[in-house]
């Protein structure tokens, strides 16, 4: 019973996930913006596990893609013959391994590192051959039930499909996390049979087999039951999302972030928010987003993989995707910052302004109804209401360059490629096709003429009354 040796995390993730009724592998369904499986593999890092082995089968091509940047080893279960059979596939990878193997299910994304540490402690301190996590659930439907003997010690696990009504009434369940040494595991697993309704090899049978062979099996009870939630269908997925959402919200509140209504603020797992930022209801911050300190994000703003500086005000109904926003900017309401937008400090983007693949220098403003695409704009430039960079000729995109201090009047069309030197002025309503020298006024519109008495000549006396 060697207690020493390195920890291995082993993730069972080969199942079909039939109950999700999805084309996408179950493990790729995101919980707070991160694929379920990656919440589980992250536990390995948290625990300082030396290796993480993932058993893949169903949907393995897509899953391999999602795991491409994770430090994991993959073993394949080509036929889904049950959890016990899945674990057997790791036999070769664990040949000769000494040290605890922690087995987790890829569809249980809510465990905390500290909970798994408690289970490892039970395994080590009680010299167990097998330790598993259990819990008493108010609704145990779908889980394997724990049967205990008169002495209160675990006897075996009975799967719901195999359970009599009396057993189904038990509320203590198997939470799908086990620790054991590799040698013990594979020796015991080789005796698991598929003599059950589902004709599957149940990993859960090792409890009974271990006890029969005189081994020591210990259980640890889960304190926060919400951690044990297994995602089998879409209703479970929504429950898991709600649990994690609340946890993430609480984390950021401890970090000095105000969430006006935590239940209605949707924060992904992989984000950052600086202190004294305030998030109003209906905001959704998606993975890869970083918000600085002292920001105010007003209702129904969606921010995806973007970086927002300090003291930024984002008014309601903005959509910001893969953009960078400097300190002190004011955005919205109803503005759209598209990929590769970079706003330097103090930029103002007002309502119904769309910016794409453009850089706007310090203090530049586009307060109303404008499209800025593929543009390099200097500092303290004013873009008037309705101004547009005409960046696409039907075949290719071209850039617009606007020098510092320039002024683009309302409803101007800047036909790219075109360049305005510093302090250039564009008269309202102009269509600009040629470069404008610094300090010049460009007027590109028809001159106005007034036709006297036109109405009376056109419609006669009757209409003119």
Please state whether the peptide bond connecting residue 417 to the residue before it is cis, i.e. omega within 30 degrees of 0.
yes
Reading the block at residue 147, the tokens are 């049967």
13: partner contacted, choices Ca ion, ligand UD1, none (Cβ within 5-8 A by kind)? ligand UD1
Is residue 421 within 8 A of residue 437, CB to CB? The reply is: yes
Helix (H, G, I), strand (E, B), or coil: what is residue 249?
helix
Q: Which is nearer to Ca ion, 106 or 350 (CB)?
A: 106
Q: Which is nearer to ligand UD1, 93 or 428 (CB)?
A: 93
Instruction: Report the residue from 46, 99, 230, 299 that binds Ca ion according to the rule CB under 5 A.
Output: 230
One symbol per residue from 260 to 299: x for binding Ca ion (CB under 5 A), - otherwise; what is it?
----------------------------------------
Instruction: Please report how close the Cβ of residue 352 comes to ligand UD1 at its closest, in angstroms.
Output: 47
55: partner contacted, choices Ca ion, ligand UD1, none (Cβ within 5-8 A by kind)? ligand UD1
Is residue 257 within 8 A of residue 279, CB to CB? The reply is: yes
Q: Which residue out of 85, 251, 368, 380 is catalytically annotated?
A: 368
> Does residue 29 carry a catalytic annotation?
no
Q: Which segment (71-79, 103-111, 419-427, 457-465) binds Ca ion by CB under 5 A? A: 103-111
Reading the block at residue 193, the tokens are 């049979």
> Using CB under 6 A as the criterion, which residues of the chain lie in contact with ligand UD1 when the complex forms?
12-15, 55, 57, 77, 80-83, 85-86, 105-108, 143-144, 157, 159, 173-176, 202-204, 230, 232
Is residue 172 within 8 A of residue 146, CB to CB? The reply is: yes
143: partner contacted, choices Ca ion, ligand UD1, none (Cβ within 5-8 A by kind)? ligand UD1
The helix (H) or strand (E) run that includes residue 13 is: strand 8-13
Instruction: Please identify which residue in the block is written with the tokens 């020591």.
Output: 216
**Residue whose C-alpha is closest to residue 261's, from 284, 279, 286, 285:** 279
151's CB contacts (< 8 A; 6+ apart) are none
Is residue 355 within 8 A of residue 372, CB to CB? The reply is: yes
25: partner contacted, choices Ca ion, ligand UD1, none (Cβ within 5-8 A by kind)? none
Instruction: Please report how close the Cβ of residue 2 comes to ligand UD1 at its closest, in angstroms.
Output: 26
| 274 phi/psi in degrees, rounded to 5 | -80, 160
Instruction: Please report how close the Cβ of residue 201 comes to ligand UD1 at its closest, in angstroms.
Output: 8
Instruction: Report the residue from 11, 56, 59, 107 that binds Ca ion according to the rule CB under 5 A.
Output: 107
Give me the residues paired with residue 132 across strands.
178, 219
| Active site residues per annotation | 368
Site residues (vs Ca ion, CB under 5 A): 107, 230, 232
């Amino acid at each position: 019973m060697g207690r020493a040796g390195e920890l291995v995390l082993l993730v069972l993730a080969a199942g079909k996930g039939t109950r999700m009724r999805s084309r996408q592998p179950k493990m790729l369904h995101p919980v707070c913006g991160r694929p379920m499986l990656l919440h589980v593999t992250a536990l390995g890092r948290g625990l300082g596990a030396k290796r993480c082995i993932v058993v893949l089968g169903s949907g393995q091509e897509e899953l391999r893609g999602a795991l491409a940047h994770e430090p994991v080893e993959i073993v394949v279960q080509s036929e889904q013959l049950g959890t016990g059979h899945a674990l057997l596939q790791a036999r070769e990878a664990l040949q000769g391994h000494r040290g605890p193997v922690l087995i987790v299910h890829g569809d249980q994304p809510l465990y905390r590192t500290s909970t798994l540490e408690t289970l490892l402690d039970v395994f080590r301190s009680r010299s167990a051959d097998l330790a598993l996590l259990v819990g008493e659930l108010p609704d145990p439907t779908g889980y394997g039930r724990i049967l205990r003997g008169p002495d209160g010690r675990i006897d075996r696990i009975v799967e719901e499909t195999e359970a009599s009504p009396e057993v189904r009434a038990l509320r203590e369940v198997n939470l799908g996390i086990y620790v054991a040494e590799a040698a013990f595991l594979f020796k015991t697993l080789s005796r698991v049979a598929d003599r059950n309704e589902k004709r599957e090899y149940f990993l859960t049978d090792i409890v009974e087999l271990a006890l029969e062979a005189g081994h020591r099996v210990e259980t640890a009870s889960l304190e926060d039951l919400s951690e044990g939630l297994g995602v089998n269908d879409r209703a479970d997925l929504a429950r898991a999302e709600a649990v994690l959402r609340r946890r993430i919200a609480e984390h950021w509140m401890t970090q000095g972030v105000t969430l006006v209504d935590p239940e209605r603020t949707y924060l992904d797992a992989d984000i950052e928010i600086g202190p004294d930022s305030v998030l109003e209801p209906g905001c959704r911050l998606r993975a890869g987003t970083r918000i600085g300190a002292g920001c105010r994000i007003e209702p129904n703003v969606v921010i995806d993989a973007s970086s927002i500086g300090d003291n930024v005000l984002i008014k309601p109904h903005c959509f910001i995707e893969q953009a960078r926003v400097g300190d002190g900017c004011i955005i919205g309401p109803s503005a759209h910052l598209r990929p590769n937008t970079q706003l330097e400090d103090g930029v103002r983007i007002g309502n119904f302004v769309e910016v794409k693949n453009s850089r706007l220098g310090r203090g530049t403003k586009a307060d109303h109804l404008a499209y800025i695409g593929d543009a390099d704009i200097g500092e303290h430039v004013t873009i008037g209401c309705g101004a547009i960079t005409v960046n696409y000729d039907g075949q290719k995109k071209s850039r617009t360059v606007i020098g510092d201090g320039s002024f683009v009047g309302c409803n101007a069309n800047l036909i790219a490629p075109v360049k305005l030197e510093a302090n250039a002025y564009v008269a309202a309503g102009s269509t600009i096709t040629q470069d404008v020298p610094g300090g010049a006024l460009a007027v590109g519109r028809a001159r106005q003429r007034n036709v006297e008495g036109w109405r009376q000549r056109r419609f006669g006396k009757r209409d003119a009354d």
